[in-house]
């Protein structure tokens, strides 16, 4: 049986090349792996090996020929005793394959602009549930402890999480309860232990990786994005990565540029990740439990300043908060303020101040940034016709920017004023006390923005 030798593609971008030189002639015997020709691509001259054994029956493209398209037959290999004339190349190759079916248009990034807005307004826990007061720190610790009790494959690793009881004391007591097999102190080697945790997740564990702060996760971001976030897709759905990356995010106080950065918008940009940024202790608890149970990599962004704040938390043996469900903290009619994480502090304070001035602001806590609950935001904007977003991160490419675009696409006709984004300033965080205050978003900024969208 004669075989055609086709012009090879020798680089990902090669479409044609020059058949620079034949190293065999008609009638020569070739072995598989033998170099039979030299081919010039746009980048280099490459040696071309025979795949099959046989005798060179005919050479179809003479050496020195330029512009030979990839997959053009260049020679025919015949078996012992076979006549070269019997080769299929004697007959002209069939014309190009029939035109492929039209490629389906990719789905739009967002849902279709006109999709109906249907916010989920169900309560997070049943009415009448007894409540208890606890700090965000305690809520996070309880969430981890409960999930570790419930699932033996949940383990915690990170710098100082064990014997030191956590740099910010989130993991206090966990080493005592769960032992060093499940509460693992790591050396300072973020990219290393993050990769190890991702591998462990593939192997069937449910690791919680604590970054002392998310500033140090920049050392590990390759594994977070290239390994954890993308592998389920790259493996055709085989290799999900049930892992939680958690730790303090954003500015603390006076710790300067390298230790004061909000990564919310960075991680929210990555398909394959889920991104959570709670404000209250109840959300911290319910969302962290949900994150630990989620079969995907979850970025869980905490805040050092919020750790010590107290909130009411439902006193239930087990409760979770679903992802993609915003919480309306305060209903209002004149303007919508959308925020998340520590930004909620400014949003709620601003709403109080505005109420004194006769402006009724609705305040929405997104709680999760991937997925985002667009419907709750849109329904509110359709009611108030005005929107201000609040976050601490950098202003360029912010969550607020993204929401503004979505509101414009899906609720343009409902807007009575342009959406205003309140964000951190477009500067690295300065150390000086006075400059640091200026770099952060303030309640006054939010009040001014709401007044501005209300033309007041």
Partner 1 sequence: MAARKTSDKSNVSKDELLKFYREMLLIRRFEEKAGQLYGMGLIGGFCHLYIGQEAVVVGLEACTKDGDKRITSYRDHGHMLACGMDAKGVMAELTGRIGGYSKGKGGSMHMFSKQRHFYGGHGIVGAQVPLGAGLALSDKYKGNDNVTFAYFGDGAANQGQVYETYNMAELWSLPVVFVIENNQYAMGTSLKRSTKSTTLFGRGLAYGISGEQVDGMDVLAVKAAGQKAVAHCRAGNGPYILEMMTYRYRGHSMSDPAKYRTREEVQKMKDEKDAIEHVRDLLIGGGLASEDDLKSIDRDIKAIVNDSAEFAKESPEPDVSELWTDIYA
Ligand X SMILES: Cc1ncc(C[n+]2csc(CCOP(=O)(O)OP(=O)(O)O)c2C)c(N)n1
- Report helix, strand or coil for 28: coil
Listed in sequence order, the residues at least 6 apart from 196 whose beta carbon sits closer than 8 Å to its beta carbon are none
- The answer to whether 212 and 160 are in contact (CB under 8 A) is yes
190 is catalytic: yes
190 scored as a contact of ligand X (CB under 6 A): yes
Query: CB 213 → partner 1: shortest distance, Å?
Result: 10
| 118 binding partner (options partner 1, ligand X, none; Cβ < 5 to 8 Å by kind) | none
With b meaning 16 or more CB within 10 Å and e meaning fewer, what string describes 153-173? ebbbbbbbbbeebbbbebbee
When binding is defined by CB under 8 A, the residue of 1, 435, 444, 456 that contacts partner 1 is 435
By beta-carbon proximity to partner 1, the closer residue of 145 and 218 is 218
Q: What count of other Cβ atoms lies within 10 Å of the Cβ of residue 351?
A: 23
Spatial distance between the Cα atoms of 180 and 186, rounded to a whole number of angstroms: 11
Q: What count of other Cβ atoms lies within 10 Å of the Cβ of residue 386?
A: 27
Query: CB 167 → partner 1: shortest distance, Å?
Result: 7
167 scored as a contact of partner 1 (CB under 8 A): yes
Query: CB 160 → ligand X: shortest distance, Å?
Result: 7
444 scored as a contact of partner 1 (CB under 8 A): no
Spatial distance between the Cα atoms of 89 and 86, rounded to a whole number of angstroms: 8
371 prior amide bond cis, ω within 30: yes
When binding is defined by CB under 8 A, the residue of 223, 259, 370, 402 that contacts partner 1 is 259
- Look up residue 414 and give its DSSP letter: G
392 scored as a contact of partner 1 (CB under 8 A): no
Part of the chain binding ligand X (CB under 6 A), chosen from 15-23, 76-84, 177-185, 212-220? 212-220
259 is catalytic: yes
When binding is defined by CB under 6 A, the residue of 40, 111, 119, 216 that contacts ligand X is 216
Mask of contacts with partner 1, 410-429, x by CB under 8 A? ---------------xxxx-
334 scored as a contact of ligand X (CB under 6 A): no
165 scored as a contact of ligand X (CB under 6 A): no
Spatial distance between the Cα atoms of 388 and 404, rounded to a whole number of angstroms: 9
Q: Which of 147, 190, 304, 391 is catalytic?
A: 190
Query: CB 355 → ligand X: shortest distance, Å?
Result: 42
Q: Are β-strands 206-213 and 244-248 bridged in parallel, bridged antiparallel, or unpaired?
A: parallel
By beta-carbon proximity to ligand X, the closer residue of 86 and 257 is 257
Alpha-carbon torsion, ordered 288, 294, 297, 301, to 10 deg? -20
218 scored as a contact of partner 1 (CB under 8 A): yes
Quote the radius of gyration of the chain (alpha carbons, Å).
Answer: 30
When binding is defined by CB under 6 A, the residue of 77, 212, 291, 306 that contacts ligand X is 212
Query: CB 253 → ligand X: shortest distance, Å?
Result: 16
Query: CB 192 → partner 1: shortest distance, Å?
Result: 6
With b meaning 16 or more CB within 10 Å and e meaning fewer, what string describes 311-350? bebeeeeebbbebbbbbbbbebebbbbbbbbbbbbbbbbb
When binding is defined by CB under 8 A, the residue of 40, 82, 160, 409 that contacts partner 1 is 160
Spatial distance between the Cα atoms of 189 and 373, rounded to a whole number of angstroms: 35
Candidates 164, 201, 155; CA nearest to 296 is 201
Candidates 244, 223, 241; CA nearest to 232 is 241
| 439 binding partner (options partner 1, ligand X, none; Cβ < 5 to 8 Å by kind) | partner 1
Mask of contacts with partner 1, 75-114, x by CB under 8 A? ----------------------------------------
Residues contributing to the site for ligand X (CB under 6 A): 159, 188, 190, 212, 216, 219
Q: Catalytic site residues? A: 190, 259
Residues contributing to the site for partner 1 (CB under 8 A): 159-160, 163-164, 167, 185, 187-189, 191-192, 215-216, 218-219, 252-259, 425-428, 430-435, 438-439
């Amino acid at each position: 049986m004669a075989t055609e030798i086709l012009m090879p593609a020798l680089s990902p971008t090669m479409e044609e090349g020059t058949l620079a030189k034949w190293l065999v002639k008609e009638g020569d015997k070739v072995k598989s792996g033998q170099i039979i020709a030299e081919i010039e691509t746009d980048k280099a001259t490459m040696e071309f090996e025979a795949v099959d054994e046989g005798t060179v029956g005919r050479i179809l493209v003479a050496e020195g020929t330029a512009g030979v398209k990839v997959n053009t037959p260049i020679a025919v290999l015949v078996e012992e005793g076979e006549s070269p004339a019997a080769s299929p190349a004697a007959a002209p190759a069939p014309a190009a394959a029939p035109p492929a079916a039209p490629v389906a248009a990719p789905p739009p990034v967002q849902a279709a602009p006109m999709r109906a807005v249907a916010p989920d307004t169900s309560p997070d826990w049943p009415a009448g549930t007894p409540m208890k007061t606890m700090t965000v720190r305690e809520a996070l610790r309880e969430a981890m402890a409960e999930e570790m009790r419930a699932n033996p494959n949940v383990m915690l690793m990170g710098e100082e999480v064990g014997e030191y009881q956590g740099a910010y004391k989130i993991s206090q007591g966990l080493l005592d309860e769960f032992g060093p097999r499940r509460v693992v102190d790591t050396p300072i080697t973020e990219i290393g232990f993050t990769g190890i945790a991702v591998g462990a997740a593939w192997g069937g564990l449910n690791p919680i990786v604590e970054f002392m702060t998310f500033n140090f996760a920049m050392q590990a971001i390759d594994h977070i994005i290239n390994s954890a976030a993308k592998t389920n897709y790259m493996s055709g759905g085989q290799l999900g990565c049930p892992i939680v990356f958690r730790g303090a995010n954003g500015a603390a106080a006076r710790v300067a540029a390298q230790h004061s950065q909000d990564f919310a918008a960075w991680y929210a940009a990555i398909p394959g990740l889920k991104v959570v940024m709670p404000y209250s202790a109840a959300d911290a608890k319910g969302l962290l439990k949900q994150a630990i149970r989620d079969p995907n990599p979850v970025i869980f962004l905490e805040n050092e300043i919020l750790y010590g704040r107290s909130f009411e938390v439902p006193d239930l043996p087990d409760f979770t908060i679903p992802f993609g469900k915003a919480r309306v903290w305060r209903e209002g009619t004149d303007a919508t303020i959308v925020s998340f994480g520590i930004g909620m502090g400014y949003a709620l304070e601003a709403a109080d101040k505005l109420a004194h001035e006769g402006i009724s602001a609705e305040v929405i806590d997104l709680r999760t940034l991937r997925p985002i609950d667009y419907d709750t935001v849109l329904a509110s904007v359709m009611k108030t016709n005005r929107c201000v977003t609040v976050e601490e991160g950098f202003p360029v490419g912010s969550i607020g920017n993204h929401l503004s675009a979505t509101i414009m696409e899906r609720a343009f006709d409902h807007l009575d004023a342009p959406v205003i984004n309140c964000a951190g300033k477009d500067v690295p965080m300065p150390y000086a006390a006075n400059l640091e205050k200026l770099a952060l978003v303030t309640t006054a900024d939010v009040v001014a923005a709401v007044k501005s969208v209300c033309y007041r």
